[in-house]
Structure formats: structure tokens, C-alpha cells
């Protein structure tokens, strides 16, 4: 057993989920994540909790899309709903074997499934929850790394001093909390929006692992300008390259992409809230330097920001409602700036505070 897996399990159970005696914890994951699933199970028992394991198989999702009719795809599973309602914490360990499993599925079917699962996701948001990756060959290949390199990449981003990291993020949050207007400048980008009265949320390993961001829910009708994303936007196993979005009074009024533009439009047309921003996030994990095509890591890259179209976060004061939440990462490490109320606070990915 890699000792780093033992360390990560302790961080997940004791720091991220803060499992207490008597709490019911659901641990889900693919079969390749067996070592981490087992160590999390063991650690929950040590904490006096009640662990339950559910192993998932990604090919069943493909079967449903290929063979199911509209009624089956839109079906809301009452057993899963009951489970989510009656747990205290969810540990979701992602260990994909094939990241392109759903790439041929029609976007409309994926949107239908997303809408069907929204109620379940809303329930989970009221619980303690965590998403974490277990290193697999599929993830390593997608990131352009060997498995050993990817393991170092993962554990280097997760197994850190989260108390120290949180203290630094709190300092940055204070600057933005005291401001009203934010401007982001970068390559082919000038975007302004308001966060007045909206509290920032520090993410220090409680829900995502790795973590390392401060995020806000912009005032819904305040977003104006244009943004270009150097990195591809990845959603529902689809990769959309060269995304350019134009906002007027909060809404995406023009969307272009070099690849899979039709898919981008389909997702933005999911519902009324899909064309509005639900999140502005500041990446603050400087242990993550390379884009890996995995939003769990990529949105935390130190020196980047990310914007999510769709559902906002109630705890951040957000009011936008949508069945989608699609994070797109903007790189500011070269020729990028962030201003708060006209004051430069970040230059080329480094904070000046």
C-alpha cells in the first residue's frame, strides 16, 4: 500500500468530512479505487461512524443512454434519493477507466439525465460531501502523464497542510469581500461584474480534493464583456476548444468555439439559467501547475480563474437556478490582471496582497 493513500484517506475522513461518532457515510467509487475506498472505510470506523460502500460501473450509464427511452433516461431513482436523504456524508471517489465512454451520446440525452439528477444533487448539497480522484491510467493518459507521474501530481496537490493553505485564502477573500466591482483582463478578455454583498467562500479541502480556491456568485445581471478560454471546456465527456463568450447584462448573448460549438450551444440552451454565471472562482493551489483536462484539478491551478455558467451557490448569495454547472478555466499567468474597484490585486497570476 502506497503510504500516500493512507495519508489521503485520513485527510478525507478527518479533515474534509470531519466524520463524527454515529454518522452515516456513503463511500462510492469505481472498482479501480478499491485501495482508497478500503482505507476510507477503515478510517470512518476508527472515527465511530457507519460506512457503506457502493461500487459504480461507468458502462451502465452508456447502456442507459444507448438502450433507454426518454422515460427511462429521465427516471428519478427513489432508492438513491432515500439513500442521499439518510446519510450524513458522501465520499465520491472517481476512478474512470475510459474518459470517452459517453462522448458519442447525444447532448439532448445527457441534458435530460442532468435535469433528472438535479433533485438528487440538491439533496447532496445539504450534506457533507467530497469528490476526489484516484489515479488511474485513463486519467494519467488524459493529462499526458505516465501513471507514476500522475500519482505524484495527485498526491502533491492533495496531501498538503490545509490549515496553512486556508489561512492564505482567507487573506485573499478579505480583499474581494471588501470590494464591489471586479474586472478580469487577459488574452482577448475584458470582463466586469459585481460581487457587492456576496460573500466569498474559501475552499480548503472540505468538498473537493484537491482544493484551493475562493469563489463567489456574481450578481446575476452585472456581467458584461467578453472572455476567451485558452484551455478547453470539458463537460459530460465532451471537449470544447477555443470557447469565446460575450455577456450583456449577465447573459451569454454570443457563444463561439473552434470545436464542438453545437454542443456548447446545446448546453447553454438547457434552461433559462444556463446562460448566466453561477460562479467566479480564483485558483489558489500553486502545487497544481499543469492543465490535466480534469476540472477537479484545473479550476484550482494557481494563477487562473474560472467562471461557471449555470447553477449558482446559495451559500455565496447566488440566485441563479439551472440544471447545469459548467466550469471553464481562464489562464492569467501570462498577461493577465484582476482589479477590485479599480485597484490591481493580481498580475500575471501572482497576488500583490
* Domains of the chain, first to last: 3-158 (3.40.1830.10), 162-351 (no CATH)
Percent of the chain surpassing pLDDT 70: 100
Pairwise CA distance, residues 172 & 282, whole Å? 10
pLDDT in tens, 209-231: 999 999 999 999 999 999 999 99
Residue 58 confidence (pLDDT) above 90:
no
Mean pLDDT of 76-81: 92
Pair 84, 127: CB distance under 8 Å: yes
Mean pLDDT of 26-34: 95
Pair 281, 312: CB distance under 8 Å: no
Length of the chain: 353
Pairwise CA distance, residues 116 & 241, whole Å? 27
**pLDDT at position 99, please?**
81
Pairwise CA distance, residues 126 & 128, whole Å? 7
* In the block, residue with C-alpha cell 498577461: 335
Pairwise CA distance, residues 6 & 14, whole Å? 12
Pairwise CA distance, residues 178 & 194, whole Å? 12
Pairwise CA distance, residues 303 & 281, whole Å? 11
Which of 218, 217, 261 has its CA nearest to residue 242?
Answer: 261
Pairwise CA distance, residues 169 & 42, whole Å? 31
pLDDT in tens, 257-284: 999 999 999 999 999 999 999 999 999 9
Joined grid coordinates for residue 51: 460506512
Residue 100 confidence (pLDDT) above 90:
no
| 128-133 and 89-94 beta bridge pairing | parallel
Full-model pTM: 0.79
How does residue 207 score in pLDDT terms, banded at 50, 70 and 90?
confident
How does residue 110 score in pLDDT terms, banded at 50, 70 and 90?
confident
Q: Mapping DSSP to helix (H, G, I), strand (E, B) and coil, where does residue 123 land?
A: helix
**pLDDT at position 102, please?**
83
φ, ψ dihedrals at 140, nearest 5°: -65, -45
Read off the DSSP letter of residue 126.
T
**pLDDT at position 271, please?**
95
Pair 37, 102: CB distance under 8 Å: no
Mean pLDDT of 316-340: 96
Mean pLDDT of 84-102: 92
**pLDDT at position 341, please?**
98
Residue 196 confidence (pLDDT) above 90:
yes
CA 66 from chain centre, in angstroms, equals: 27
- Report CA-CA distances (Å) from 42 to 47, 48, 239: 9, 10, 37
Residue 103 confidence (pLDDT) above 90:
no
CA angle 36, 37, 39 (to 5 degrees): 60
Residue 108 confidence (pLDDT) above 90:
no
Pair 295, 133: CB distance under 8 Å: no
Pair 194, 260: CB distance under 8 Å: no
Amino acid at each position: 500500500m502506497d503510504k500516500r493513500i493512507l495519508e489521503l484517506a485520513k485527510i478525507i475522513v478527518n479533515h474534509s468530512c470531519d466524520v463524527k461518532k454515529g454518522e452515516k457515510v456513503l463511500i462510492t467509487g469505481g472498482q479501480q479505487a478499491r485501495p482508497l475506498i478500503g482505507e476510507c472505510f477503515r478510517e470512518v470506523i476508527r472515527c465511530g461512524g457507519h460506512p457503506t460502500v457502493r461500487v459504480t460501473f461507468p458502462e451502465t450509464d452508456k447502456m442507459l443512454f444507448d438502450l433507454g427511452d426518454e422515460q427511462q433516461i429521465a427516471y428519478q431513482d427513489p432508492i438513491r434519493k432515500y439513500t442521499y436523504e439518510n446519510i450524513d456524508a458522501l465520499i465520491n471517489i472517481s476512478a474512470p477507466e475510459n474518459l470517452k465512454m459517453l462522448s458519442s451520446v447525444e447532448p439532448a440525452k445527457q441534458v435530460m439525465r442532468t435535469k433528472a439528477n438535479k433533485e438528487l444533487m440538491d439533496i447532496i448539497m445539504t450534506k457533507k460531501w467530497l469528490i476526489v480522484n484516484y489515479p488511474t491510467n485513463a486519467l494519467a493518459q488524459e493529462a499526458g502523464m505516465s501513471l507514476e507521474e500522475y500519482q505524484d501530481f495527485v498526491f502533491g496537490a492533495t496531501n498538503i497542510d490545509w490549515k496553512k493553505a486556508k489561512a492564505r485564502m482567507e487573506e485573499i477573500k478579505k480583499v474581494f469581500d471588501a470590494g464591489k466591482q471586479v474586472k478580469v483582463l487577459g488574452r482577448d478578455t475584458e470582463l466586469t461584474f459585481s460581487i457587492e454583498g456576496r460573500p466569498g467562500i474559501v475552499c480548503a479541502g472540505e468538498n473537493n480534493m484537491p482544493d484551493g480556491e475562493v469563489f463567489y456568485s456574481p450578481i446575476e445581471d452585472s456581467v458584461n464583456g467578453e472572455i476567451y478560454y485558452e484551455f478547453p471546456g470539458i463537460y459530460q465527456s465532451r471537449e470544447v476548444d477555443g470557447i469565446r463568450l460575450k455577456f450583456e447584462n449577465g447573459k451569454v448573448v454570443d457563444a463561439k468555439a473552434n470545436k464542438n460549438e453545437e454542443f456548447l450551444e446545446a448546453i447553454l440552451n438547457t434552461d433559462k439559467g444556463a446562460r448566466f454565471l453561477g460562479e467566479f472562482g480564483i485558483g489558489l493551489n500553486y502545487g497544481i501547475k499543469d492543465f490535466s483536462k480534469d476540472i477537479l484539478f484545473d479550476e484550482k491551478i494557481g494563477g487562473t480563474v474560472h467562471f461557471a455558467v449555470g447553477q449558482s451557490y446559495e451559500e455565496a448569495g447566488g440566485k441563479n437556478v439551472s440544471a447545469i454547472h459548467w466550469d471553464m478555466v481562464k489562464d492569467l499567468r501570462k498577461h493577465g490582471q484582476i482589479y477590485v474597484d479599480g485597484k490591481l490585486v493580481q498580475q500575471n497570476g501572482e497576488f500583490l496582497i
